[in-house]
Amino acid sequence: MGEFELIRRCFMQAKQGAGVITGIGDDCAVLQVPAGQQLVVSIDTLVEGTHFLPGTPPAEVAYRLLGAAVSDLAAAAATPAWLTLALTLPRGDAAWLEPFAAALAERATELGMSLVGGDTTRGATLTLSAQVHGLVPEGQALLRSGARAGDRILVSGTLGDSRGGLETLLHPLPVDADVRYLQQRFHRPEPRVSLAQRLRSRVHAGLDISDGLLADLNHMLEASGVGAEVQQQRVPCSAALRRLYPQHASEWALSGGEDFELCLSVAAEQVRGCVAAAERLGIRLTEVGCITAEPGLRVLDEFGQPVEGLAQGYDHFKESS
Amino acid sequence: MGEFELIRRCFMQAKQGAGVITGIGDDCAVLQVPAGQQLVVSIDTLVEGTHFLPGTPPAEVAYRLLGAAVSDLAAAAATPAWLTLALTLPRGDAAWLEPFAAALAERATELGMSLVGGDTTRGATLTLSAQVHGLVPEGQALLRSGARAGDRILVSGTLGDSRGGLETLLHPLPVDADVRYLQQRFHRPEPRVSLAQRLRSRVHAGLDISDGLLADLNHMLEASGVGAEVQQQRVPCSAALRRLYPQHASEWALSGGEDFELCLSVAAEQVRGCVAAAERLGIRLTEVGCITAEPGLRVLDEFGQPVEGLAQGYDHFKESS
């Protein structure tokens, strides 16, 4: 079997879902956006050696790729629909491609998406770009702009776990349930799709935490023309992270990145309803601070004093939009 | 200025076009597909060292990327609308990024597209994936399937030029008008958007020639469940290619690839009308063979004898869909 045929066979497994008029196999996919819906798109790249360690199992790469990409759809409160994949591989290797494609198809199905097209090319560095397409009722996409002074800042789940999971891979620890939990959080992020859809009508602004809470919150503040105060001790950390990395947990929760949790700006009177709605989905939603008219982002300690020397909005190379 | 800011500044130049509710700068772009239109998408990757030579000027990379990607929209007879870009760079280098982004914005505007999102990451190999989004009236996308026995096979423009242009870069010749013409064809392919839209209602099947006429025609034959005969001497070559590479022109025209011309399957009685319509756009359309009920692709010489030993549907690593 040639490489061409291998690639075709691997990716043809993907199911053809709703709205797919023409899927894989033509020059383009032809898609039907339902009346009353807007199209929401985002493209996300993973590069071996930059975003995941060389030798990461192919299934973990597939889960991480889709988790990260679909998290942007969740941030817009969109429903995942379609996926295209640009895959650059050092070689056409069935031992890598087959488990990757199987995991991609499985995860795409779980997330309600169908793979509708792609481009597989040869290149020295394993590089994957996923473009995800979602749908949202007209005018209801959740944006970064719209946060208002007096809003409360809510975050879903716990933060810093992904950074902890990476640490356990870089500097291995004896494997126990906590280590496995952090690695799962790193490799298999769970985009908060249902939560965002449920809360969409109650939320002023939102985004997903990919660069770290402080960096991403700064994006929201800039887009909304406001400032914020964050109470450091309120930022939720998992017990696993606190046990394994007590010295770093708090810092990683503020700046670690790639947790793909949501950060939402909500009117004070909506907080209780949002927390209750999240609870019904089994998701913790924690108030970590508030939006201020005064610009800038201030992190306060338990005595209300500014915490200095935090990495805020670090100037990394990665820019997503 | 940091890298983050550099990237933002470079890509914010792009104009925001029709249907863009939210463009660059949020987690996702939000797009409005007009009523009665279907969405047509394709993703295309260029890798330095695989698809273009190291050291290729950034503006040429931008033109080639968009030419190749939009050609898939042309093949579907779609109107280009929106673009997202996944860019993996060895370093955040203003000397590369600025001319690249300026050329990308210029070419996107020429093609009627707006850049609505992207992801820029660091990686060892310069890799670019463009996802293009087009619009087509419901049910009118041109597909690879639909060719019927008795149809005539038409190709636009001339073939083999791109392969000739590559040759002039690999083994430089004294630069003259013909060399410049072939290099232009290699670096700045012109997707046949208007032609496909004009002919859409008269054509049974179509695709763009990215892998070479024979390879791509085979894709059409497979998708349509038919065969074909191609008259080798009818396949159009430019005077420049014939003059510079007389030994190779005919072979490259059949198998060279990356010309991004259209290959169309048209009922015999529609040929004259199609050729006239193309002429009004200043585009040559040449009948090179016919569709047969008998499967397989046969290339015939000027005596009607089968030509043997041609690279047909070569098993390269690249698979687009």
pLDDT in tens, B92-143: 788 899 999 999 999 999 999 999 999 999 899 999 999 999 999 999 999 9
B94's CB contacts (< 8 A; 6+ apart) are B6
User: Which chain B residues have a beta carbon less than 8 Å from that of A27?
Assistant: 42, 72, 75-76, 144, 207-208, 320-321
Give me the pLDDT at residue A15, please.
Answer: 58
pLDDT digits (tens, 9 = 90+) for B69-95: 999 999 999 999 999 999 999 977 888
Instruction: Give the residue from B79, B50, B78, B82 showing the smallest Cα distance to B64.
Output: B50
For domain A3-137, the question of CATH label 3.40.50.300 is answered with no
Beta-bridged to residue A127, according to DSSP, are A47, A88
Of A22, A27, A72, the CB nearest to B28: A72
Q: What would the pLDDT profile of A171-210 be if each residue is shown by its tens digit?
A: 999 999 999 999 999 999 999 999 999 999 999 999 999 9
What CATH number should be reported for the domain whose range is B152-300?
A: 3.90.650.10
**B215 touches A at CB < 8 Å:** no
pLDDT band at B2 (very low <50, low <70, confident <90, very high): low
Chain A residues whose beta carbon lies within 8 Å of the beta carbon of residue B84: 41-43, 131
Distance between A259 CA and the closest CA of chain B, angstroms:
15
Q: Residue B317's pLDDT band (boundaries 50, 70, 90)?
A: very low
- Candidates B26, B37, B120, B197: best to mutate against A (most CBs of A within 10 A) is B26
Q: In the sheet that B114-122 helps form, which strands lie side by side, from edge to edge?
A: A20-22, A29-31, B37-47, B127-137, B79-89, B114-122, A319-320
The reply to whether B134 touches chain A by the CB within 8 Å rule is: yes
Instruction: Name residue B43's beta-bridge partners.
Output: B131
Q: Are A121 and B22 an interchain contact pair (Cβ–Cβ within 8 Å)? A: no
Query: How far apart are the C-alpha atoms of A161 and A182, rounded to whole Å?
Result: 5
Interatomic CA distance for residues B189 and B201, integer angstroms: 25
Cα–Cα distance measured from residue B250 to residue B235, given in angstroms and rounded to the nearest whole number: 8
Query: Chain A within 8 Å of B222 (Cβ-Cβ)?
Result: no
- What distance in Å separates residue B84's CA from the closest CA in chain A? 7
The pLDDT tens digits for A25-60 are 888 999 999 999 999 999 999 999 999 999 999 999
Does A50 contact B143 at a Cβ distance shorter than 8 Å? no
Segment A60-65 mean pLDDT: 97
Radius of gyration of chain A (CA): 20
B211 part of contact set with chain A, CB < 8 Å: no
Number of alpha carbons in the 13 Å side-chain half-sphere of residue A35:
3
pLDDT in tens, A105-131: 999 999 999 999 999 998 999 999 999
| Torsional class of B146: left (φ above 0), alpha (ψ -120 to 50), beta (otherwise) | left
pLDDT bin (cut points 50, 70, 90) of residue B15 is low
In angstroms, the CA A16 to CA A267 distance is: 40
Q: Is the CB of A140 inside 8 Å of chain B's CB atoms?
A: no
CA–CA distances in Å: residue B280 to residues A90, B194, B274? 45, 11, 10
Spatial CB neighbours of B120, under 8 Å, sequence gap ≥ 6: A317, A318, A319, B7, B86, B87, B88, B89
Substitution target from B32, B319, B320 for chain A, most A beta carbons within 10 A: B319
d(CA B201, CA B140): 8
A255-279: b or e for each residue (b if 16 or more CB lie within 10 Å)?
A: bbbbbbbbbbbbeeebbeebbebbe
pLDDT for the residue numbered B318: 41
Please give the Cα distance from B195 to B154 (Å, whole number): 12
B97: chain A residues, CB-CB within 8 Å: none
Three-class secondary structure of residue B29 per DSSP: strand
Task: For residue A14, name the pLDDT band (cuts at 50, 70, 90).
Answer: low
| Angle between helical axes of A58-75 and A94-110 (0-180°, round to 10) | 30
Inspect the interface and report whether the beta carbons of B316 and A24 lie closer than 8 Å.
Answer: no
Burial of B126 (0-12, 13-18, 19+ CB in 10 A): buried
What distance in Å separates the CA atoms of residue A185 and residue A111, rounded to the nearest whole number? 17
Predicted ipTM?
0.91
Please indicate if the annotation marks A211 as binding a ligand.
yes
Rounded CA-CA distance B321/B43 in Å is 8
Contact B84 A318 (CB under 8 A): no
Q: What rounded mean pLDDT belongs to chain A?
A: 92
B28, B149 contact by CB (below 8 A): no
pLDDT at A312: 57
| 3-class DSSP assignment, residue B224 | helix
Domain regions of chain A by residue span: 3-137, 152-300
Which 148-187 residues of chain B touch chain A by CB within 8 A? Answer: none
> Distance between CA B96 and CA A112 in Å, rounded?
39
- The model's pLDDT over A201-235, given as tens digits with 9 standing for 90+, comes to 999 999 999 999 999 999 999 999 999 999 999 99
Cβ distance of B26 and A143 shorter than 8 Å? yes
> Which chain A residues touch B25 with a CB distance below 8 Å?
144, 223, 321
Mutate to test the interface with A, among B30, B47, B136 (most CBs of A within 10 A): B30
What's the gap in Å between the CA of B247 and the closest CA on chain A? 29
Q: pLDDT at position A313, please?
A: 46
According to the model, what pLDDT value does residue B312 have? Answer: 57
Chain A contact for B216, CB < 8 A?
no
Rg (CA), chain B: 20
DSSP string, B98-126: HHHHHHHHHHHHHTT-EEEEEEEEE-SS-
3-state secondary structure (DSSP) of residue B44 = strand
pLDDT of residue A10: 76
Which pLDDT band holds residue A314 (cuts at 50, 70, 90)?
Answer: very low
- Choice among A265-274, B10-19, B108-117, B224-233 with the minimum mean pLDDT: B10-19
Q: Tell me which chain B residues have a C-beta less than 8 angstroms from the C-beta of A28.
A: 40-42, 72-73, 75-76, 78, 134, 141
In chain A, what residues touch B136 (CB-CB under 8 Å)?
Answer: 30
- CB nearest to B24's CB, from A25, A141, A321: A321
Q: What is the 3-state secondary structure (H, E, C) of chain A?
A: CCHHHHHHHHHCCCCCCCCEEECECECCEEECCCCCEEEEEEEEEEEECCCECCCCCHHHHHHHHHHHHHHHHHHCCCEEEEEEEEEEECCCCHHHHHHHHHHHHHHHHHCCCEEEEEEEEECCCCEEEEEEEEEEECCCCCCCCCCCCCCEEEEECCCCHHHHHHHHHHCCCCCCHHHHHHHHHHHCCCCCHHHHHHHHHHEEEEEECCCCHHHHHHHHHHHHCCEEEEEHHHCCCCHHHHHHCCCCHHHHHHHCCCCCCEEEEECHHHHHHHHHHHHHCCCCEEEEEEEECCCEEEEECCCCCECCCCCCCCCCCCEEC
B129 has a chain A CB within 8 A of its CB: yes
Distance of CA A43 to the CA centre of its chain: 12
For chain A positions 17-36, those within 8 Å of chain B (CB to CB) are: 21-22, 24-33, 35
- Are B256 and B210 in contact, with CB atoms under 8 Å apart? no
Name the more confident of B58 and A7. B58
B43, A118 Cβ separation under 8 angstroms:
yes
Token pair belonging to A178: 């906590």
The pLDDT of residue B319 is 40
For chain B, say whether A244 makes contact (Cβ under 8 Å).
no
Q: What pLDDT was estimated at residue B313?
A: 46
Q: Point out the least confidently predicted range of A10-14, A18-22, A147-151, B143-147.
A: A10-14
Residues of A in contact with B316 (CB under 8 A): 3-4
- In this complex, do A315 and B2 lie within 8 Å of one another by their Cβ atoms? yes
Which uninterrupted H or E stretch holds B215?
helix B213-224
Count of CB pairs separated by less than 8 Å, A with B: 263
CB of B3 closer than 8 Å to CB of B95: no
From chain B, pick out residues whose CB is under 8 angstroms from the CB of A203: none
Taking the CA atoms of residue A173, residue A176, residue A180 and residue A183 in that order, the dihedral angle to the nearest 10 degrees is: -10
Across the range B220-231, mean pLDDT stands at 97
